[in-house]
Amino acid sequence: MQKESKLNAENRQKTSGRGSNKVPIGSADFLAPESLEKALDYRKRYGFEATVIAGGTDIMVDYFERLYEVNSWLDLNKIEELKKIEINDEEIIIGATATHKRIAEHPDLQKYLPMLAHASSEVGAWQIQSRGTIGGNIVTSSPAGDTLAPLLAYDAKVVLQSKGGNRILDMSDFFIGPKENVEESDELLTKIIIPKPSENILSRWKKVGKRKALIISSLTMAILIEIDNDGVIENARACYGAVAPTPIEVKNVGDYLKNQKLKEVDAKKVGEIAVAGISPIDDIRGTEQYRRQVTHDLTVNAIKEMAEEI
Amino acid sequence: MNDLKQVNKSKKRVDAKAKVTGKAKFGADLKFANMLYGKVVRTKYPYAKIKNVDISKAEAYPGVEVVMTAKDIPNNTFGVIIQNQRVLAEDEAIYIGDGIVMLAAESKEAAEEAAKLVEIEYEELKGIHDPLESRKPDAQLVMEGTDSNQVVHHPLRKGDVETGFAEADLILEREYSTHYIEHAYLEPEAVTVVPNERQTLVSVYGSVQNPYATRDAVARVLEADLSQVRIIQDNMGGSFGGKDENISSMAARAAVMALETDRPVQMVNSREESIIESYKRHPYNLKYKVGATKEGKLTAMEIEAVADSGAYACQTPFVTWRSVVQATGPYEVPNVKTDTYGFYTNNPYTGAMRGYGSPPTCFAQESLMDELAEELGMKPDQLREKNMYRQGSHTASNQKLDNHTVSLQEVLDKAKESINYDKKYEEYSKEQTGEKKRGIGLAISYRGVSLGAEAIDTTGGIVAVQKDGSIILYCGLAENGQGLRTVFSQVVGEELGVNLDRITYMEADTSVAPESGSTVASRSTFMGGNALKKAAKNVKETMIEFAKEEYGVEGEIIFKDNALYTDSGKKIEDFSKVASDAFHSGVFLSSYGWYKAPKISWDEETGQGRPYFTYVYGCQIAEVEVDTGTGQVKVLNMAAAHDVGKAINPANVRGQIYGGVVMAVGHALMEDLGFSDGFINHTNFDEYLIPTAKDIPDIDAIIVENPDPAGPYGAKSIGEPTVELGGAAINNAIALATGERHYDLPLNLERVLIGRDLSREG
Q: What is the per-residue pLDDT across A109-161, written as a single tens digit (0 to 9) for each?
A: 999 999 999 999 999 999 999 999 999 999 999 999 999 999 999 999 999 99
Residues 566-605 of B with CB under 8 A from A: none
Domains assigned to chain B: 32-126+189-268 (3.90.1170.50), 284-452+603-754 (3.30.365.10), 458-596 (3.30.365.10)
Helix axes B650-669, B726-738, angle to 10 degrees: 50
Please determine, for residue A15, whether its predicted confidence score (pLDDT) is greater than 80: no
**pLDDT recorded at residue A18:** 44
How far, CA to CA in Å, does B340 sit from each of A183, B79, B354, B413, B453?
61, 21, 19, 32, 16
Å between B94 CA and nearest CA of chain A? 13
* pLDDT band with cut points at 50, 70 and 90 for residue A71: confident
Cα B52 to Cα A9: distance, rounded to the nearest angstrom = 21
**CB contacts, 8 Å: B753 with chain A:** 290, 293-294
Is B116 an interface residue toward A (CB < 8 Å)?
A: no
Instruction: Determine the distance in angstroms separating the CA of B362 from the nearest CA of chain A, rounded to an integer.
Output: 24
Distance between CA A143 and CA B146 in Å, rounded?
51
Q: Note which residues in 266-285 of chain A have CB less than 8 A from chain B.
A: 282, 284
- Nearest-neighbour CA in chain B from A295: distance (Å): 9
Q: pTM here?
A: 0.95
Is A210 touching B (CB cutoff 8 A)? Answer: yes
Residues in chain A: 310
Q: What single-letter amino acid sits at A310?
A: I
- A25 vs A184, A242, B189, CA distance in Å? 19, 36, 39
Is A10 an interface residue toward B (CB < 8 Å)?
no
- Of B193, B263, B274, nearest to A11 by C-alpha is B274
Residue whose C-alpha is closest to residue B291's, from B278, B300, B304, B281: B300
The helix/strand/coil state of B416 is helix
Mutate to test the interface with B, among A210, A281, A283 (most CBs of B within 10 A): A210
Closest-CA distance, B426 to chain A, in angstroms, reads 27
Asked if residue A245 lies in contact with residue A178, where contact means CB atoms within 8 angstroms, the answer is yes
Q: Are the CB atoms for B230 and B195 separated by under 8 Å? A: no
**Sheet containing B632-643: order of strands:** B436-448, B615-627, B632-643, B698-704
Domain annotation for chain A: domains and CATH numbers: 80-195 (3.30.465.10), 201-309 (3.30.390.50)
SS3 content of chain B, % helix, strand, coil (to 5): 30, 25, 40
Cα B224-B225-B227 angle, rounded to 5 deg: 130
Residue numbers in chain B where pLDDT is lower than 50? 1, 761-762
What is the chain B residue with the closest CA to A6?
B681
Question: Which residue, among B192, B173, B172, B142, has the nearest Cα to B33 in the 3D structure?
Answer: B192
Separation CA B205–CA B226 (nearest Å)? 16
The predicted structure's pLDDT at residue B759 = 59
Question: Which of A1, A2, A215 is the best residue to mutate to test the B interface, defined by the most B CB atoms within 10 Å of its own CB?
Answer: A2
- State which residue of chain B sits closest to A215, comparing Cα positions: B686
With vertex at residue B15, the alpha carbon angle to CA B12 and CA B20, rounded to the nearest 5 degrees, is 95
| Residues B125-134 pLDDT 10s | 999 999 999 9
Residue B609 CA to residue B565 CA, distance in Å, equals 47
**Residues 6 or more apart in contact with residue A79 via CB below 8 angstroms:** A33, A34, A35, A36, A39, A97
Name the nearest CA neighbour of A206 among A219, A215, A193, A192: A219
CA B540/CA B538 separation, integer angstroms: 5
Instruction: Tell me the shortest Cα–Cα distance from A4 to chain B, in angstroms.
Output: 5
Test B753 with A290 for CB contact under 8 angstroms: yes
Q: Least CA distance to A3: which residue of chain B?
A: B45
- Please determine, for residue A27, whether its predicted confidence score (pLDDT) is greater than 80: no
DSSP B659-727: HHHHHHHHHHHT----EETTEE---STTTS----GGGPPEEEEEEE----TTSGGG----TTGGGSSHH
Buried b (16+ CB within 10 A) or exposed e, B156-178: bbbbebeebbeebeebbebebbb
User: Could you tell me if B99 and B253 are in contact, meaning their C-beta atoms sit under 8 angstroms apart?
Assistant: yes
Give me the sign of the Cα torsion angle A51, A56, A58, A63: positive
Task: Check A5 against B693: CB less than 8 A apart.
Answer: no
B555: left (phi over 0), alpha (psi -120 to 50) or beta: left
Tell whether A66 is within 8 A of chain B (Cβ). no
